[in-house]
Amino acid sequence: MIELCDIKKKYRQRPALQGLRFKLNPGEIYGLLGPNGAGKTTTLKILAGLISTDGGDIIIDGQSYNWESTRLKRMISYVPDEAFLYDKLTGEEHMHFFADLYSIPARGRNKIIDYYFKYFEFESYRKELVESYSAGTRQKLIISQALMVEPRILLLDEPLVSIDPLVGRKFKVLLREMAKTGMITVFATHILSLAQEISSRIGIIINGKIVVEGSIKELINLSNQESLEDFYFETVMKHDNPG
């Protein structure tokens, strides 16, 4: 469903992506791991249509995709690591605003909004201004509106950093359920236990390239390591210090 072919991106003269390649199939939860500056966030922003590439192709459902592909962008939801919210809107107003952006019909919308406020346990905040929200409550709102539009592609950048463990567990359960419908999830994280728990496949990106990818079992079998954490650190050290 999604294929990235030789994607390149520079910021001024600094290369961020250097021939990035990977393919994603319906229902996959793809964990994107790598050190700071490896290209994880840049990859997600390109897929979200927020920035353009300097080369290469992205194919979604057999069609070429870029940051001007309005129709294809409606298939995608993005939860950034530092999301912008309108502080003078209430949580409920924010959900309606986001639904309008995706042309979600007004009829039946309230039922969906009710569900997410209850599921992620912040219903008591729905009438309060976003400016009063804690970091965790803001993250619940951002995740809720991203899921509410029923995307075919969900992009997550460190989604659970501010979330309490109970709600985080509920989020992971919901993510697996949505994967069964064919939704593709790509998430960048430094939390290796999260990646190991929910990923159907993992890609390790270093210096703007995927250096290795596969299921947890496949990756661990590539070495003598006993855990994803050990394999990850071995891989980063090897490629950051190739000599």
CB 129, CB 157: distance < 8 Å? no
Higher pLDDT, 73 or 110: 110
Q: What is the model's pLDDT at position 34?
A: 93
Give the pLDDT band of residue 193 (cuts 50, 70, 90).
Answer: confident
Q: Does 243 score more than 60 pLDDT?
A: no
- Phi, psi (degrees; rounded to nearest 5) at 60: -125, 120
Give the pLDDT band of residue 172 (cuts 50, 70, 90).
Answer: very high
- Radius of gyration of the chain measured on its C-alpha atoms: 18
Q: What is the model's pLDDT at position 237?
A: 86
Q: What is the model's pLDDT at position 80?
A: 93
Give the pLDDT band of residue 242 (cuts 50, 70, 90).
Answer: very low
Q: What is the model's pLDDT at position 240?
A: 67
pLDDT tens, residue by residue, 52-89: 999 999 999 888 887 777 788 889 999 998 888 999 99
Domains, the chain, ordered by start:
2-83+151-240 (3.40.50.300)
**123-132, 190-199, 217-226, 230-239: range with lowest mean pLDDT:** 217-226
Of residues 144, 192, 143, the one with CA closest to residue 202: 192
pTM of the model: 0.93
Q: In Å, what is the CA distance from 75 to each residue of 34, 153, 154, 168?
A: 26, 6, 9, 24
